Amino acid sequence: MQQQSQEGAAAIRGGFWTLIDAAGGQALSFLGFILIARLVSPEDYGVLALAYAIITIPSILLNDSVSATLVRHDDLQDRHLNATFWANLALAIASVGLVQLCCGWAALLTARPALGSVLRCLSVVIIFAALAPIPFALLAREMRYSRLAFRTLAATATGTSLGVAAAHLHWGVWALVIMQTTTTATSVVLMWRDVPWRPKLQTDFSAAREVYRFAARVMMGHALRHAAEKSDIIIIGLILDPTTLGYYYLMLRMIGAASLVSVAFADAVMLPVLSRIKDDPGRRSAAYRDMLGAVSALWTPAVAGLAAAAPIIIPEFFGPQWKGAVPMLRIAGFACVAGPLTRTTVHILLAAGRPDSYASLSLLQLVFVLVFFAVGAQFGGPGAAGAYAAVLLAVTPFHLRAVGIFAHVDAGRVVKNHLLPLTASGVMGAYVYAITEAAPADGRWTFVFVATSGMLVYALALCALAPGEVKRFATLVRDAFPVRRKFLGMGK
């Protein structure tokens, strides 16, 4: 029990810095998003969404897949890092060349002339994505999440500032391109500054094969997952107009904001923690349930509140031209309360050495996306949001089954832990919905009241439903953060 508590405390301590990373970075990013959204059209965001859906295919494969492999590696040596660096860089250069060759064809296929030019410029992101895995993995393996938080805040502030300045100059979609490329480049530069390792002009093909043998299986899962997560944008872009795609993109950004302040700490902390205890299924399962419980406690009220208060939030923060996104956020947001049960599956399966199962789940999700969105997009924006909700609800049982069979986690206990914050979020969501429907025309102060009182209602409901769990989690947080600087990692 003491070991389990220590693992949970380590996860929460790392999660503290990752929450600062996510919350601070997302706050700056959202500030820029709000300012730029008032200066550019939903159509501009639709073009960016299409371009980024294409660009992130190689970026995800060369970044997330390799990072996960390096973090998990039992005996990571200099030869592994060197081989990975040069192989990743070569693959990135080849991917950029391929994008340059195909961008005209993509613009012609989607009937979006601006898409080709945006793809050409945005392709530089692939290079920076390929350079990120090594410094990220080294910092994550050492649990130096305070440094990762700093690079996110600095990079986001830099990119957001330049993007807002370009939007004020009426550069339209190019303001969005500038913001994205600058943020990515600055993030990578800052991470490299914080690690002492540097590549050498030599490589070890056996080390490269060792790394990419596992990474290839992870890549398959990430490729399928990315296809499942981005195929919706491509389908909507082909069937509907760019403005509707812009509304859908705003919906995704708002859901993503909720996930980054709740699931982000799990994305950064869960795999390193679980990999350290991968040979002890009991401890691994207990640590996973603790982290998933923390994710649910943060995620469910965030998305439920966003969905309920959408008629106030969207016009007030983004302007009246974005009102078309309100029904889409309400439809998708309420279904997203099931998100923690699927979002964290990848970490427990990789820690259990089952990337093949993760790939199978991603393939199943891709099939659901293709079927539901091909039908849902025929009914406009609300239909697309309904397809998003249907996919999430359809894949949840399969994720729970995979976690139970391949990672030996009691799925029943996972669901039980999730039901507590889900029920409390339902109480809060009903309260926020009632207040929002009766809100006055000026939603600014209504939003402040709804946000503060909604959080209070959620906290009271959670304490009433599960006082024991709330006390246990509070104890875990207290153990993770005693009032001493060294536990906060300030010296790192």
What is the average per-residue pLDDT within 87-94? Answer: 87
pLDDT exceeds cutoff 60 at 285: yes
Rounded Cα gap, residues 152 and 159, in angstroms:
10
Report in angstroms the alpha-carbon separations of 253 from 140, 234, 306, 323, 386: 26, 16, 12, 15, 17
Measured distance CA(6)–CA(480) in Å, rounded: 8
Confidence of residue 391 (pLDDT cuts 50, 70, 90): very high
Which of 145-149, 424-428, 439-443, 473-477 ranks highest by mean pLDDT? 424-428
The chain-wide mean pLDDT, for the chain, equals 81
d(CA 293, CA 287) in angstroms, rounded, equals: 10
Q: What is the pLDDT averaged over residues 11-15?
A: 56
Average pLDDT over residues 81-105: 87
The Cβ-side half-sphere exposure at 425, using a 13 Å CA radius, reads: 24
pLDDT recorded at residue 372? 95
pLDDT at 490: 42
pLDDT of residue 124 exceeding 50, the answer is: yes
Give the pLDDT band (50/70/90) at residue 278.
low
Q: What is the pLDDT of residue 261?
A: 65
Q: Which residues contact 166 (CB under 8 A, 6 or more apart)?
A: 174, 175, 178, 179
Average pLDDT over residues 404-428: 86
CB atoms within 10 A of CB 391: 26
Checking if the pLDDT of 381 tops 90, the result is yes
* pTM summary value: 0.77
Mean pLDDT of 196-204: 81
Q: What is the pLDDT of residue 188?
A: 92
Report the range out of 14-28, 76-90, 293-307, 364-378 with the highest average pLDDT.
364-378
Average pLDDT in the 137-145 region?
A: 76
pLDDT of res. 121: 93
> In this predicted structure, what is the pLDDT of residue 474?
67
What local confidence, expressed as pLDDT, does residue 189 receive?
A: 94
Find out whether 406 and 349 touch, Cβ atoms under 8 Å.
Answer: yes
